[in-house]
Amino acid sequence: MSSLNLDDFTDLIERPDGGVRRDAEARRERQIVPPGSLGRLDDLGEWLSAAQASVPVRPIEQPRVVLFAGDHGVAELGVSARPAGSAGELVREILEGGRPVSVLARRLGVPVRIVDLALDCDPDSLPDEVVRHRVRRGSGRIDVEDALTAEEAEAAFRAGVAVADEEADAGTDVVVLGDVSVGGTTAAGVLVAALCGTDASVVTGRGGLAIDDLAWMRKCAAIRDALRRARPVLGDQLQLLATVGGADLAAMTGFLLQSAVRKTPVILDGVVAAACALVAQRVAFRAPDWWLAAHDSGEPGQAKALDRMALEPLLSHGVTVGEGAGALLALPLVQAAAALAAELPEKPTVEGEPEKEE
């Protein structure tokens, strides 16, 4: 019998401190630049204050990119522009510094952590710190079979929880969360369609490399078939992840929930992160208060999930490459909000001016 009870997260997760946020708003009103003139930067600064329980807000000094990696059996159907089982090659390219997220992280001085849950490659071909949480080699073909066994789903979920604890214990103050997968956007589409009660065509996008019309139709059919398998298990979120998710998605869901428990803010990347966040919201309704949507990737499933969670993307710049690159572009904006909230001086008090009544 499993000892994992997802309902526990409902009690463990608290909202960011509302009293601290009101103090941050009051401080913002005293600063020399009028409230509202910095647009969403005002709101971001106040949100960070509440998340940190600190006025003024502390600077973001230890951000980290965390990428969950896995291959999905559904990619065998030709639903992705990349060959099935090739996510390991992307991981190696990131580690070697040749992917967009590598370049951006290097430029911004942000370390990148990759967590392999289900890559379809020899584990000896990757560093130990990447593969030590692997649950299986590739996730199942979700249109005709479960992605994971119940035991594998729990192991993956617990791995995500462990990674969240490791990051919190290491002092990571903001996580940029993304995925490295082939077939992952198909699994994400199934989760979003199932949880939002929509048809496959509503959530089927063209992925990071813009698949052609025939591949889009194959992807739509795969999501439709997997959706039939998802609906009977909607009441059990871990079983849902086992049925139509994957090891990387189960781990990302556990990571998001435990990050909220540990009060670690998370910046979400694309549709895969959004789908996992939607599952996590079903588990603990307060959890989304700890997350930011980085950007609009153009994937309809992402837009549907973010709308359901009332998360508005910070940026809209057409980045579809995945791997956390779009979310990493939003990090300087969040850091700027923290700096402005903390460092803008307050208006001078005019001698003899009566104080405002509260």
90, 114, 174 from 93: Cα distances, Å: 5, 12, 24
The residue behind tokens 């499993």 is 2
**Residue 208 near residue 266, CB atoms below 8 Å:** no
Alpha helix (H) residue ranges in 180-212:
184-196, 200-203
Query: Helix (H, G, I), strand (E, B), or coil: what is residue 25?
Result: helix
Strand partners, 291: 266
**Residue 205 near residue 185, CB atoms below 8 Å:** yes
What is the rounded CA–CA span in Å between residue 215 and residue 75?
A: 11
**Residue 50 near residue 56, CB atoms below 8 Å:** no
**Residue 153 near residue 233, CB atoms below 8 Å:** no
What is the rounded CA–CA span in Å between residue 118 and residue 311?
A: 29
Secondary structure element (H or E) that encloses residue 182, with its range = strand 174-182
Q: Which amino acid is at 43?
A: D
What is the rounded CA–CA span in Å between residue 144 and residue 52?
A: 45
Residue of 323, 343, 353, 357 with catalytic role? 323
Cα torsion 289, 278, 246, 114: sign: negative
Is 154 assigned a catalytic role? Answer: no
Nearest to 324 by CA among 159, 60, 94: 94
Torsion of CA 80, 85, 88, 90, to 10 degrees: -20
Q: Which residues are catalytic?
A: 323
